[in-house]
Amino acid sequence: MEHHEQDKERVFTGVAVMCLTGNIMSHMIGKGRGQLHELPDQLALMRGLTKWSERIDHPSEAQDIMKDGFRHLLSGRPRPVGIEAPWDVFGQSAEVTFTGAPFTPSPCLPDPEQISSAMDAIAKAKNPLIMVGGGAMDAATEVLAFARLLQAPVTAHRSGKGVIAEDDPLSLLPPAAWRYWKDCDLLIGIGSRLELQHMRWKWMPPGLKTIRIDTDPTEFVRLPGDHNVLADAVSGTQALIDNLGADTARPNREAALETIRQDAAPDVAKVQPQVDYLGVIRDVLPRDGFFVEEVSQVGFTARMVFPVYEPRHYISCGYQDNLGFGFNTALGVKVAHPDAAVVSVSGDGGFMFGVQELATAVQHNIGVVAIVFNNGSYGNVRRDQQMRYGNRLIGSDLENPDFVALARSFGAWAERVTDPEELRAALTDAIALNAPAVIEVMVGRDGDGSPWPLIHPAPHTTD
């Protein structure tokens, strides 16, 4: 945009659209050589993939449509929005008068009757468990205060990690939370899909009741709770706190929860070498550093055992679990937080999806430390073929480049390590360097212990 008059600006529509969503190709290669065919209805395609989508057909529409886009983007459950501008609109301009302030979302306040219903369940519960997800990221203060009053442990899987510091006495990483789960009588989900309980653990304690706090009413249809509270995490949790009151705090559970952690430790320690390598990364990575994972043996394990101390400092590929997410996303994290340490962990197969972005990292001096675990295979696929298909291996073994030589050819710093203590030294040096770095960790085929006993534990037995 460029200034035109005091209260007017010239809007270049294409730039405005690109800033928000980028541009989906509006042509497809046809069957004939060199022939182009228009996508019949690109807007319909975008509407099927996003929370909201619209088209700018003239520059004069840009302001209102952009405002609507941000309103949908920031309201309720965050999801992508799409804005399309045809190619012939990109180069047009128009004089417009800017009106109104940028959109600020209003809090989604809970219905008092829903809070009252939830409070009845809380009053009856003896062993509640709080499950936080990505929707609770802005409610760290409220969640911790609520957990303190209730003396209820808090757990998270992927997106909710760090909502409360995972070294807090009331925090349980999933393997310990699983041990607590057998006696749980109330699950309180705050901004969470409850994926851990319903898709990973799958076993439900007898008589379990569920409270769900969520801004998305469709969540209550997808997975109904016994007590649904339609509210944002801050407002919903604060309403529960207000109804509990400081004089209703329960007996301190911290010693009992520490015993549960110690009981879970031997099962965690069996997943090697991932657990030891993750322990080293946690030791070396500053407390406010960022950890970016993706689908890999070490990534799966990290979701269960890697402690995180601040909201939004554990960056996960989330529900979709896509290969190639980690290193590329870590570059963006580092650009957003240039003074913080950023470490990504990838498998060899996943890293190769975006290895060319080493050129970007070097060109712009983006100081991500990429730790590549090289087991010469797509480890999960290989394990499934071994265990379920009579060791008939198809497409699971990889012939990898020399990752150290490859990284150095781009101009990045690189080292190869073969054990956790070598990783400790290399990672310490790489973080201090604050420049593009690759550390190759040699694991070997079939060298990873399976993380699945932690992710899908065997059901508890009941008397």
All CATH 3.40.50.970 domain ranges in the chain, comma separated = 2-97, 270-453
User: How far, CA to CA in Å, does 373 sit from each of 289, 320, 337, 403, 449?
Assistant: 20, 21, 25, 10, 13
Cα–Cα distance for residue pair 146/166, rounded to 1 Å: 16
All CATH 3.40.50.1220 domain ranges in the chain, comma separated = 112-263
Tens digit of pLDDT for each residue in 128-155?
999 999 999 999 999 999 999 999 999 9
Question: How many Cα neighbours within 13 Å face the side chain of 120?
Answer: 8
Tens digit of pLDDT for each residue in 185-234?
999 999 999 999 999 999 999 999 999 999 999 999 999 999 999 999 99
Q: How confident is the model over 339-358, as a mean pLDDT?
A: 95
Model confidence at 250, in pLDDT bands (50, 70, 90)?
confident
Contact (Cβ atoms closer than 8 angstroms) between residue 343 and residue 291: yes
- The three-class DSSP label of residue 273 is coil
Cα–Cα distance for residue pair 119/100, rounded to 1 Å: 40
Q: How confident is the model over 32-46, as a mean pLDDT?
A: 71
Cα–Cα distance for residue pair 274/259, rounded to 1 Å: 24
Question: How many Cα neighbours within 13 Å face the side chain of 125?
Answer: 23
265 contacts: CB under 8 Å, gap ≥ 6: none
Contact (Cβ atoms closer than 8 angstroms) between residue 382 and residue 393: yes
Contact (Cβ atoms closer than 8 angstroms) between residue 197 and residue 131: yes
Question: Which tokens belong to 207?
Answer: 């008589």
Q: Which amino acid is at 334?
A: K
* Nearest Cα to Cα of residue 89 among 118, 123, 107, 65: 65
Tens digit of pLDDT for each residue in 269-301?
999 999 999 999 999 999 999 999 998 999 999
- Which listed CATH number (3.90.1150.10, 3.40.50.2300, 3.30.2130.10, 3.40.50.1220) goes with 112-263? 3.40.50.1220
Helix 254-269, helix 174-181: angle, nearest 10? 120
Contact (Cβ atoms closer than 8 angstroms) between residue 79 and residue 215: no
Q: What sign results for the dihedral spanned by CA atoms 125, 142, 289, 215?
A: positive
Q: Which amino acid is at 263?
A: D
* CATH architecture of the domain with range 2-97: 3-Layer(aba) Sandwich (3.40)
Cα–Cα distance for residue pair 435/426, rounded to 1 Å: 13
CATH number, span 270-453: 3.40.50.970
Which residue reads 């080293």 in tokens? Answer: 280
Contact (Cβ atoms closer than 8 angstroms) between residue 311 and residue 162: yes
Q: What sign results for the dihedral spanned by CA atoms 173, 179, 180, 184?
A: positive
Cα–Cα distance for residue pair 15/19, rounded to 1 Å: 6
Locate all alpha helices (DSSP H) within 168-312, ordered by sequence. Answer: 174-181, 195, 219-222, 233-244, 254-269, 274-284, 297-305
- Give me the pLDDT at residue 98, please: 78
Contact (Cβ atoms closer than 8 angstroms) between residue 198 and residue 138: no
Neighbour tally for 255: CB within 10 Å: 8
Contact (Cβ atoms closer than 8 angstroms) between residue 250 and residue 186: no
- Give me the pLDDT at residue 35, please: 56
104 or 458, higher pLDDT: 458
* Nearest Cα to Cα of residue 63 among 1, 132, 154: 1
